[in-house]
């Protein structure tokens, strides 16, 4: 595979994970980073040894750069994505792809016209534990999946993120912020969603920031912070999804799938590793071997001390390889737009108290080949 030269727009918290991921890769060179605040770009360039810290405009005019990663806040995604496409470059955006489904559809149309690709986070579904779970389903080990539960519960982001505003306005909330991990993984496991029902609410209308440097500042909550949804899949499976930032403590597992021949527990789709467990026809739980899948080893220590596998950026790497090999990429614009429609439908279903039929569908992304690391994309 030919190495690719990329640029990054948005130099906040998550850019560190991408810049570390790019440094680990033999195929990705980050030529420049940009931000609306030039000092943020300068700081990341210095920290990660990137040659150029520049403005978004200069980055987009650079003919060496073929793919741009958009790591800005959700409300800015659509504008920045559009500018990347208008510059004739492929775009890979953090989730949600845009703050609204309509913006995402517009982006796909613009990209198709311009002949460039759209890719979107999350790429965690390409991680070892999720691919091992998928393999078990594809091999028929739990039979046809009929039901399940996906659960992401916590108490918000204002206690750790330095600028948590974007989490509590349009484009934020646990459904659009965490939902992409869960729904994208469900779609790769089960296929597309057909219709959605939900109840939603705001638990705390005002939040107090406790993280530095803005501790004590109040935030008005403008988006639902608890949703209990039913996702009905084209395959016939129905999954109960609960997403909340109003919960202090719980004991529910992130992800359980029930098939006619067994059950599967899938680890937290926020990360790439963890051990999936399977029970076939009532047998004891057995761990699935994730070491035969790439991207399984822990490589990041979280704030709470947990060691996790975090390989964010492999979705972009797969997209770059797919461009060179003229094949579809896995973390595609179609997938992230379908997921965004599902997430938006949860909000609509909650507000309008009705089932919402989806208008989009998508292919299940291809399984990631067995292997050790990024060479699986280069083959
Ligand atoms: N923080 C995380 O742990 C995390 C994890 C996964 C995904 N994400 C996603 O990554 C994205 C960024 O999150 P973050 O936590 O890094 O946010 P952040 O607020 O820390 O950083 C965003 C950066 O984008 C810049 N920016 C905003 N609008 C811009 C524009 N129009 N042009 C250029 N620069 C602009 C800001 O100046 C800021 O430096 C979000 O979509 C978020 O959902 C974040």
- From the CA of 178, how far away is ligand 1's center (Å)? 15
- From the CA of 77, how far away is ligand 1's center (Å)? 9
Residue 9's DSSP bridge partners are 34, 70
Q: Verify whether ligand 1 is closer than 6 Å to residue 123 (CB atom).
A: no
pLDDT of 292-333, one tens digit each?
A: 999 999 999 998 999 999 999 999 999 999 999 999 999 999
Q: Verify whether ligand 1 is closer than 6 Å to residue 56 (CB atom).
A: yes
- Closest ligand 1 atom to Cα of 312: 6
Count of C-beta atoms within a 10 Å radius of residue 110: 16
The CA distance from 363 to 360, in Å, is 11
The CA distance from 3 to 29, in Å, is 7
The CA distance from 255 to 265, in Å, is 6
The CA distance from 155 to 320, in Å, is 37
- From the CA of 73, how far away is ligand 1's center (Å)? 4
Contacts of 342 (CB under 8 A, 6+ apart): 179, 183, 193, 196, 231, 358
Q: Is 281 left (phi over 0), alpha (psi -120 to 50) or beta?
A: left
The CA distance from 331 to 3, in Å, is 19
pLDDT at 117: 98
- From the CA of 368, how far away is ligand 1's center (Å)? 28
pLDDT at 51: 84
Residue from 14, 33, 97, 271 whose mutation best tests the ligand 1 pocket (most atoms within 8 A of CB):
14
The CA distance from 54 to 39, in Å, is 10
pLDDT at 206: 97
pLDDT at 379: 77
- From the CA of 2, how far away is ligand 1's center (Å)? 29
- Closest to 320 measured CA to CA, from 116, 130, 129, 181: 116
pLDDT of 146-204, one tens digit each?
A: 999 999 999 989 999 999 999 999 989 999 999 999 999 999 999 999 999 999 999 99
List per-residue pLDDT tens for the chain, 379 residues long: 999 999 999 999 999 999 999 999 999 999 999 999 999 999 999 999 988 999 999 999 999 999 999 999 999 999 999 999 999 999 999 999 999 999 999 999 999 999 999 999 999 999 999 999 999 999 999 999 999 999 999 998 999 999 999 999 998 999 999 999 999 999 999 999 999 999 999 999 999 999 999 999 999 999 999 999 999 999 999 999 999 999 999 999 999 999 999 999 999 999 999 999 999 999 999 999 999 999 999 999 998 999 999 999 999 999 999 999 999 999 999 999 999 999 999 999 999 999 999 999 999 999 999 999 999 998 7
Count of C-beta atoms within a 10 Å radius of residue 222: 13
pLDDT at 187: 98
């Amino acid at each position: 595979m030919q190495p690719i030269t990329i640029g990054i727009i948005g130099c906040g918290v998550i850019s560190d994970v991408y810049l570390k991921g790019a440094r680990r890769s033999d195929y990705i060179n980050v030529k420049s980073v940009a931000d609306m605040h030039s000092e943020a770009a300068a700081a990341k360039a210095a920290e990660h040894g990137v040659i150029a810290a520049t403005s978004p405009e200069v980055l987009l005019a650079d003919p060496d750069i073929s793919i741009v990663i958009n790591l800005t806040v959700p409300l800015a995604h659509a504008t920045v994505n559009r500018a990347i496409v208008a510059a004739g470059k492929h775009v890979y955006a953090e989730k949600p792809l845009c703050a609204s489904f309509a913006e995402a559809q517009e982006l796909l149309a613009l990209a198709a016209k311009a002949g460039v690709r759209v890719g979107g986070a999350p790429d965690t579904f390409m991680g070892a534990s999720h691919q091992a779970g998928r393999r078990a389903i594809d091999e028929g080990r739990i039979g046809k999946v009929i039901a399940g539960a996906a659960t992401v519960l916590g108490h918000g982001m204002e206690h750790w993120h330095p600028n948590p505003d974007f989490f509590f306005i349009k484009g934020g909330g646990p459904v659009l912020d965490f939902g992409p991990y869960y729904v994208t993984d469900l779609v790769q496991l089960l296929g597309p969603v057909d219709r959605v029902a939900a109840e939603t609410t705001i638990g705390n209308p005002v939040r107090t920031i406790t993280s530095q440097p803005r501790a004590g500042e109040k935030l008005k909550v403008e988006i639902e912070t608890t949703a209990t949804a039913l996702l009905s899949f084209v395959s016939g499976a129905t999954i109960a999804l609960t997403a909340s930032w109003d919960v202090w403590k719980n004991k529910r597992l992130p992800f359980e799938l029930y098939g006619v021949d067994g059950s599967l527990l899938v680890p937290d789709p926020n990360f790439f590793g963890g051990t999936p467990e399977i029970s076939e026809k009532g047998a004891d739980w057995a761990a699935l071997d994730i070491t035969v899948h790439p991207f399984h080893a822990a490589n990041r220590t979280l704030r709470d001390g947990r060691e996790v596998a975090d390989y964010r950026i492999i979705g972009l790497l797969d997209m770059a390889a797919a461009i060179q090999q003229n094949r579809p990429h896995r973390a595609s614009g179609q997938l992230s737009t379908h997921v965004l429609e599902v997430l938006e439908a949860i909000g609509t279903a909650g507000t309008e108290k009705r089932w919402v039929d989806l208008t989009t569908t998508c292919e299940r992304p291809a399984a990631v080949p067995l292997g050790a690391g990024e060479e699986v994309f280069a083959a």
